[in-house]
Structures are given as C-alpha cells and as structure tokens.
Amino acid sequence: MRKAFSFVAAAALMSAIATAKEVKIGVVLPLTGPIAAFGQTSKGGLDIAYEQNHKLKNGDDVKLVVLDDRGDKVEAATAVKRLIDKDGVAVILGEVASSNSMAMAPVAERAHTPMITHASTNPRVTKGKKYVTRACFIDPFQGSVMAKYALENGMKKAVVVTDAKQDYSVGLSKAFKKAYRAGGGKILKTVLINSGDKDFNAQVSAIKATSPDIIAFTGYYPEAALMVKQARSMGIDTPFIGADGVGFPELVEIGGKASEGFMYTDHFNETAANSPEAKAYVEAFHKKYSKAADSMGALAADAYGMILSAMNQCIDEGKASDDKECINDKLRHTKEYSGVTGVITIDKNGNAVKSAVVNEVKKGDFVYKTTVNP
C-alpha cells in the first residue's frame, strides 16, 4: 500500500509539473524620475525575494513584468492598464508614492485585478476599494509615532512642513497634527513647499521666526535634504523628524553633515530584524549588494511574499494559481504573515497592522533607535 501510494503521489507530482504554467505579476515602480531611489531600492529587494523563490507549489513559474512609470500619475495608471490588458498579469505590485497608487487603483478595481502596494501609506489608497491591499502601515499610525516620539522627548512646539503636491505629505501632516495636539503639543505654523523646489530660504526664514522645538517634515528625501541643509546654514539647529519618505542615502549624500540627527519613522531596520525570514533576506541582500538592507526593498519583498502565499493558498483549495478573485480574497484576509519587515495582518480595509521603527542619522548612517507597536 505504501509503495502504491508513492507511485500515485509521484504520478500526481509529475502531472502537475508537466502542466505547469507561467503566472505573471505586474510591477509598477518609479525607476526613473524625481523619486527614482524609491523604485530602484524597491526593485532591489524584489529581485532578492524573486531569486529566493519564484516557483509555486504546483510547479507554476512566476514571472515579473516590470514597468517604469517615472513617478508620474498618468504613466502609473497607463502602466496598470497595459499590464492587465496586454500582458495578462494576475496581480499588480506597486506603486511607492500614494498619489501614483491612487491613480492606479481605479484601473485595478474596474478590472477586478488584485493590487498590493508595498509602500503607499495614505489611507485613501485602500479606502472604499475591494481589490487594493497594502503591505505597509498607514499615515495615521506613522503620524502618531512621529508625534508621540517628539512629545515624549519634550518637544512641545512644532512647525509642520507639507509638500502641497503630494497626497502622501498632506495626509501625513494631518495625522501628525491630530496626534500632536491630542498629546498636548502646539502647532506653531504649517509651511508649504512643492516637489521639485530647490530654494527654501523663504520657508526656512518663516520657521526660524517661530522658534519651534521640532520641525516635522512630511515630504520626500530630495526636498528634505535641501531644506535641512539650508536650515543649518541659516543657523537653525532645531531637530527634524520625518517619515518613511526621507530615509534614503540621498538624504545624507545631498544634505551632508546638515542631515546629522535627522530622525524619521520607518518600516524596517536590519538591526532590529530578528525573524528567520528577515535574517535570510538581510544575508542575501548583503551578499548581492554589499550594503545595508533598506526599508523599501524589504517592503517590496514582503508584498511579493504575500502574493506567493495567496497563490499557494488558492492552489491548496484546488483553484488556479492565477485566479484573481481567489488571490484577492487571500491577500485581504492575510493573518500574521511572517515577513521581512515583521508580522503582518491585513484589517477589514485592506491595511496592514504592524510595528514601526524610529531611525536617526548618525555619522552618515541610519541608526535604529526604537520600535513602536500598533
């Protein structure tokens, strides 16, 4: 009986392999343009995860179809349409920026194609959506972490810097202000900037006149680096705190010594990576790139891992690995997925419930300070 069972199992396995097919995952990232660092580091982490595993349990082979949207909303939406209509992908991974993900989401919704963003933190990305999930925490949590950390360290008066062109920044500013005021902090002023700006002298002068305890910067790394550099040159030594949009090497490369002490909330720091999944990823990342593993890459790896987990669950239920409705259902009901960035559970709105870390620039490196749980 045992021998007969082995023959049957072997035959079933051979049959599955013989009928194995290619399953496509569409990836939309800003590989060029003003926030190219986001896309390039995401792709770096995604490549690690893909190299570690691109075979499903039934033998199906996973293929990544990667498109560059140049960080543009229109390009992002067009890319999703092409991936679904022309390339026949089963699921979409991307984007990084919330504005771009919000442009992509309606296209995915209309096509009933599951989409998972690894790094878009604005609540509106998933609000009211049935086919959009995220592998990262959302801005209300991130903003509250920023506010809590500032208040606990005696910083009771804040100036908030908001990028008026970025939904990410607008939403994060709102979340920070709400949590900061609720904790007893006072918002002295909101200073507006625009993506692509180079000269912040007027804004820095306005900040200097208010004498804040903390400057909450809610935009992205290109403007953060330039602003902190100009602020320090004008004699402002007030601490800066930002969020996941600033934690990139360019912050230090552009800001130089002025970036020293810049704090920010983030999704990952390899110093705090203790799970087997995280350790294996960090080891592979170091071997391939000879540098520290970053948060965007780790998040992309988790989003990819969640997709593969969903596909394998569908296979377990006797469904096709590219069954869109099944993949979407499994993504939306993810419970305690052990990923690179921590344990991830998806709530009823498609948002990830997970911890955050606080990092600080010290001697040109991003140094882990603490972990804040949801």
Tracing tokens 């500013």 back to the chain, one arrives at 173
Q: Are residues 248 and 350 in the same domain?
A: no
| Same structural domain, 297 and 175 | no
Q: What are phi and psi of 50, to 5 degrees?
A: -65, -40
Token code pair at residue 36: 């190219």
Kindly state whether residues 133 and 49 are assigned to the same domain: yes
pLDDT value of position 15 = 53
Does residue 365 form part of some domain?
Answer: no
Which one of 224, 248, 266 terminates a domain? 266
What was the pLDDT predicted at 19?
A: 75
Q: Are residues 312 and 215 in the same domain?
A: no
Under a CB-based contact definition with an 8 Å cutoff, are residues 345 and 328 in contact? no
- Tell me: do 232 and 311 sit in the same domain: no
Tokens of 153: 């360290």
Residue 23 included in any domain: yes
Q: Of 266, 283, 315, which marks where a domain is finished?
A: 266
CATH value at residue 40: 3.40.50.2300
| Any domain includes 318 | yes
Domain boundary among the residues 242, 266, 290 is at 266
369 assigned to some structural domain? no
Q: What is the model's pTM? A: 0.86
Distances (CA, A) of 332 to 242, 252, 309, 317, 352: 29, 37, 12, 16, 10
Residues 6+ apart with CB under 8 A from 293: 45, 268, 270, 273, 281, 282, 285, 286
Whether 330 is covered by a domain: the verdict is: yes
Encoded tokens for 58: 């039934």
Mark whether 153 and 103 lie in a shared domain.
no
Cα separation, 71 vs 60, in Å, equals 32
* Position 360 in a domain: no
**Domain with 19 in it:** 2-137+274-355
Q: How many helices (H) and strands (E) does the chain have?
A: 12, 15
208 & 129 share domain: no
Element (H, E) at 352: strand 352-353
Same domain, 67 and 145: no
Kindly state whether residues 66 and 132 are assigned to the same domain: yes
184-230: per-residue pLDDT in tens? 999 999 999 999 999 999 999 999 999 999 999 999 999 999 999 99
Q: Which residue has the tokens 């003003």?
A: 34
- Same-domain check for residues 100 and 150: no
User: Domain tally for the chain?
Assistant: 2
Identify the pLDDT of residue 1: 45
Residues 237 and 323 placed together within one structural domain of the fold: no
Shared domain check, 144 and 127: no
pLDDT at 304: 98
Which residues of the chain fall short of a pLDDT of 70?
Answer: 1-18
- pLDDT of res. 16: 52
Domain membership of residue 362 (yes or no) is no
Residue 51 forms part of a structural domain? yes
- 298 and 131 Cβ atoms separated by less than 8 Å: no
